[in-house]
């Protein structure tokens, strides 16, 4: 009876060992997957930079606000009617400033939608690849370091040239 239990326990252990090795092999991240992931990160970063430039243009070229100095004044007083009255904020300036706030509020959602679209696109990255690489860089410091290096390299190549 003992031999029978030991026999089955041995095969169960052997089966688990083989399964664990298969899982480890499946989860190995390839260079191509790392490169795709890094490309998506750089594309997202470039998109955010573009949106930030759009925001700066929106502030500095706003005819109603008259530029960044007035924007900063209103920003400091925003939400405090006494301060807004003290700096003579006009109804037109309130509308212009609120437009900028609305743009800022929508930026996060726009960026999330952009990145999600890149991730879901199987020709660019794909959800399974994203999850696999993301897990690897979270769990393995060497993979994280490699990813940071890839992203830095792509950004250096991308300076003004586009991906």
pLDDT digits (tens, 9 = 90+) for 122-153: 999 999 999 999 999 999 999 999 999 999 99
Are 155 and 43 in contact by the 8 Å Cβ rule? The answer is no
Are 65 and 95 in contact by the 8 Å Cβ rule? The answer is no
Segment 12-22 mean pLDDT: 48
Q: Which residues contact 92 (CB under 8 A, 6 or more apart)?
A: 64
Are 72 and 56 in contact by the 8 Å Cβ rule? The answer is no
pTM for the model? 0.71
The mean pLDDT value of the chain amounts to: 85
């Amino acid at each position: 009876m003992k031999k029978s239990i030991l026999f089955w326990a041995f095969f169960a252990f052997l089966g688990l060992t083989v399964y664990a090795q298969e899982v480890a092999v499946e989860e190995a991240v390839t260079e191509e997957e790392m490169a795709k992931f890094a490309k998506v990160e750089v594309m997202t970063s470039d998109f955010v930079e573009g949106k930030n430039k759009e925001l700066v243009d929106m502030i500095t070229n706003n005819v109603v606000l008259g530029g960044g100095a007035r924007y900063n004044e209103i920003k400091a007083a925003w939400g405090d009617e006494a301060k807004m009255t003290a700096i003579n904020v006009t109804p037109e300036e309130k509308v212009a400033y609120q437009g900028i706030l609305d743009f800022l509020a929508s930026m996060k959602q726009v960026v999330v939608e952009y990145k999600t679209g890149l991730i879901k696109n199987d020709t660019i990255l794909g959800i399974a690849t994203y999850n696999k690489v993301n897990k690897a860089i979270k769990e393995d410091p060497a993979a994280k370091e490699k990813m940071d290096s890839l992203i830095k390299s792509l950004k250096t190549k991308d300076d003004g040239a586009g991906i």
